[in-house]
Amino acid sequence: MFSRKIMATENHQNYHIAVKAFIRDGDKLLICKDAFFEDESVPEWDLPGGRINKEEFLINFEDILKREINEEIGDIKYKNNGAAVIFRHRRPEQRELKADGKPIINILMIGFDLEYLGGDIKISDEHTEYKWLPIEELSDAEKYFKGGWIDGISKYLEYLKNNKSRIIY
């Protein structure tokens, strides 16, 4: 008989997993202003997509991404070029109803490279507006994004620079 030492989970980090869409229309990228951060002095922009739901564990990422796109910007047409970047982001949990002391959550994001092919963009209540940002303006990502998003945008620019040859993580 042997015994196996079980590692305590207190040293492990818990992550939510999210899929995000880097939707390009030529030399522009679709970004959406996050409705949860209404302080105009510090606007936070986002990309369409979101966390994987509990019941979606066995669903492939492309189908989850399609659900998220439909929920957040409507039934648009696009070509999915596959996963482009993997990055981490940390933020307060917006779904908490407490007035203060919102827990900080860790999110591992898988960013997909999509080419916009058409359709009307209709943003959900998760965003207040959207715009097509010239990709060259992403070099100043801090103007639009915070935290782990800056790393994700930087990795996406590297992905494009490397002719989309491999996933950047």
Is residue 84 one of the residues assigned to a domain? yes
Only one residue has tokens 């739901």, namely 53
- Secondary structure of the chain in the HEC alphabet? CCCCCCCCHHHCCCCEEEEEEEEEECCEEEEEEECCCCCCCCCCEECCEEECCHHHCCCCHHHHHHHHHHHHHCCCEEEEEEEEEEEEEEEECCCCCCCCCCCEEEEEEEEEEEEEEECCCCCCCCEEEEEEEEHHHHHHHHHCCCCHHHHHHHHHHHHHHCCCCCCEC
At 169, which amino acid appears? Answer: Y
Question: Does residue 132 lie in a domain region?
Answer: yes
pLDDT per position as a tens digit, 140-167: 999 999 889 999 999 999 999 999 889 9
**Is 7 inside a domain boundary?**
no
pLDDT on residue 105 = 85
Weakly modelled stretches of the chain, pLDDT under 70? 1-10, 37-43, 92-101
Residue 51 lies in a domain: yes
Q: What CATH number is given to the structural domain containing 127? A: 3.90.79.10
Model pLDDT, residue 101: 64
Domain tally, the chain = 1
Return the pLDDT at 91: 74
Domain extent, residue 97, equals 14-161
Please indicate, yes or no, if residue 166 is contained in any of the structural domains: no
For the entire predicted model, the pTM comes to 0.86
Provide the pLDDT for residue 103. 79
pLDDT confidence of residue 12: 80
- Is residue 168 a part of any domain in this protein? no
- pLDDT score, position 14: 87
Instruction: Note whether residue 1 is domain-resident.
Output: no
Residue 9 forms part of a structural domain:
no
